């Protein structure tokens, strides 16, 4: 890992390669999802999602306990979330695509927390911006097609009573020095930040609280969120709940091939509202290529698909592994040129985005069906 690589819930910098990710998982105390775990998952789901096959979701905490509970017929629920700080890009979508797949395969409830309070405390956003991003992001998320009966969107400021009454139980067990060391806060950070992690912990036990019986929770998230759930796992047994389990992803890289796709640099990210022309232009112009400098050299020596942004995204959007290995071979051998690889991936991305924007229009009128309410569980 480069010396300056840094991963906290509010800051991710530096260059992240595969070995860096396993080092971070190790440092955080999460386990790598190995072949045996993948096989166990596939034994319930039938197939493996490409994000598991290609190790985008690469680490976990106590995933075995979730699968044990499931196989005993006890069930579990899913919890994930989004901080509404701006427009969503492809990288933000990844955990939700995967969560949708999990919900479909296991047919379980899902709580999606929208942390508008977090973005108020941590970013310079006013309530107008927050409201706009909140409704916009909710539509983007729902366009992926979650099960309306089992999906529960919890906007923090709209569910403040329930969240506050449960967050205080957590907050009592987190002292300032722990918050400082886990999140890197210092004396200049506002007091709201110190409290916030308690709010993010609540959905990980709220269903047990509502149902009045223990039910396990599985949280899919990108690795920067891990500090929150490490803290939550420490606190849960002290307040009478099971530790939540997690399944943890890498970031989708920026087009330039390293680091994380970021919202602050529009040239390195693909936004959900980018049209076909824009997506193609961004890939052609900015996507890091494992190809050679000239078509002649490429034909002669072939490309290195492993470091190629377009190939790496292509395989995440292709369900059939035999298609992926055929494209790999063709690219590697020089049969396929970089421009062709980029065009193919641009098309895949645009097909996905166009499908989502059609769904977006459809869910627009049904958002209230998805909103969190305790009555929906009773
Ligand atoms: N803090 C997350 C963000 O800034 C949002 C979030 C809340 C979340 N709860 C979560 C993400 C659970 C993953 C899992 O985006």
pLDDT in tens, 325-337: 999 999 999 999 9
191 with 335, same domain: the answer is no
Does 377 fall in a domain?
no
* Domain count across the chain: 2
Q: How far apart are alpha carbons 257 and 312 in whole angstroms?
A: 10
DSSP 136-163: HHHHHHHTTT--TTTEEEEEGGGSHHHH
Which residue carries 């803290």 as its tokens?
A: 231
186 burial level (CB within 10 Å; 0-12, 13-18, 19+): exposed
Same domain, 136 and 241: yes
Q: Is residue 15 part of a domain?
A: yes
Ligand 1 pocket, mutate which of 228, 251, 262 (most atoms under 8 A from CB): 228
The domain containing residue 305 runs over which residues? Answer: 276-360
pTM: 0.95
Ligand 1 atom having least distance to the Cα of 220 = 14
pLDDT at 203 over 70: yes
The per-residue pLDDT for range 207-238, each reduced to its tens digit, is 999 999 999 999 999 999 999 999 999 999 99
Does 270 fall in a domain?
no
Is 253 within 8 Å of 260 (Cβ atoms)?
A: yes
Does any domain span residue 330? yes
CATH number at residue 346: 1.10.240.10
Does the residue 51 lie in any domain?
yes
Average pLDDT in the 271-287 region? 95
Q: How confident is the model at residue 375 (pLDDT cuts 50, 70, 90)?
A: very high
User: If DSSP codes are grouped into helix, strand and coil, which group holds residue 246?
Assistant: strand
Q: Is residue 303 part of a domain?
A: yes
Within 13 Å and on the Cβ side, how many CA atoms surround 225? 27
- Write the CB contacts of 318 (distance below 8 Å, at least 6 apart in sequence): 50, 324, 327, 348
- d(CA 278, CA 282) in angstroms, rounded, equals 6
Q: Do residue 170 and residue 245 come from a single domain?
A: yes
Q: Whose CA is nearest to atom 7 of ligand 1?
A: 81
**Whether residue 161 sits in one domain with residue 125:** yes
- Of 12-16, 38-42, 197-201, 321-325, the range with the lowest mean pLDDT is 12-16
Ligand 1 site, CB within 6 A: 9, 79-83, 113, 115, 118, 200, 219, 221, 225
Cα–Cα distance for residue pair 25/265, rounded to 1 Å: 27
Q: Is residue 350 part of a domain?
A: yes
C-alpha span between 66 and 70 (Å, rounded): 6
d(CA 213, CA 241): 10
Query: Cα–Cα distance between 266 and 269 in angstroms, integer?
Result: 5
In a domain, 122, yes or no: yes
Residue with tokens 């824009």: 278
CATH number for the domain that contains residue 52:
3.40.50.620
Residue 2 has pLDDT above 60, yes or no: no
């Amino acid at each position: 890992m480069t010396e300056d690589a840094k991963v906290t819930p509010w800051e991710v910098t530096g260059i992240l390669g595969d070995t860096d990710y396993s080092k971070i998982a190790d440092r955080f105390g999460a386990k790598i999802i190995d072949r045996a775990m993948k096989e166990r998952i596939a034994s319930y789901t039938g197939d493996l999602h490409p994000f598991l096959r290609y190790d985008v979701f690469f680490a976990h905490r106590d995933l075995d306990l979730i699968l044990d509970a499931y196989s005993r017929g006890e069930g579990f629920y899913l919890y994930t979330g989004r901080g509404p700080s701006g427009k969503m890009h492809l990288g933000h979508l990844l955990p939700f695509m995967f969560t949708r797949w999990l919900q479909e395969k296991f047919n379980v409830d899902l709580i999606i927390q929208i942390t508008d309070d977090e973005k108020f405390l941590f970013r310079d956003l006013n309530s107008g911006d927050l409201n706009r991003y909140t409704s916009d992001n909710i539509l983007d998320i729902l366009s992926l097609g979650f099960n309306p009966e089992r999906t529960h969107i919890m906007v923090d400021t709209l569910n403040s009573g329930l969240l506050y009454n449960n967050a205080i139980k957590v907050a009592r067990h987190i002292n300032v020095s722990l918050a400082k060391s886990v999140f890197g806060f210092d004396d200049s950070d506002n007091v709201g930040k110190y409290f916030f992690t308690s709010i993010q912990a609540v959905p990980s036990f709220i269903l047990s609280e509502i149902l009045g019986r223990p039910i396990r929770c599985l949280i899919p998230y990108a690795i920067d969120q891990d500090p929150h759930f490490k803290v939550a796992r420490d606190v849960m047994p002290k307040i009478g709940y099971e530790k939540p389990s997690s399944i943890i992803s890498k970031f989708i890289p920026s087009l330039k091939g390293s680091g994380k796709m970021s919202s602050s640099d529009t040239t390195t990210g693909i936004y959900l509202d980018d049209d076909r022309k824009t997506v193609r232009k961004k890939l052609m112009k900015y996507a890091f290529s494992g190809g050679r400098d000239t078509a002649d050299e490429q034909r002669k020596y072939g490309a290195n698909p492993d470091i190629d942004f377009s190939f790496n995204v292509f395989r995440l959007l292709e369900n059939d592994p035999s298609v992926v290995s055929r494209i790999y071979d063709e690219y590697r051998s020089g049969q396929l040129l970089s421009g062709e690889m980029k065009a193919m991936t641009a098309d895949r991305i645009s097909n996905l985005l166009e499908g989502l924007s059609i769904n977006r229009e459809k869910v627009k009128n049904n958002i209230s069906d998805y909103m969190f309410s305790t009555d929906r569980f009773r």
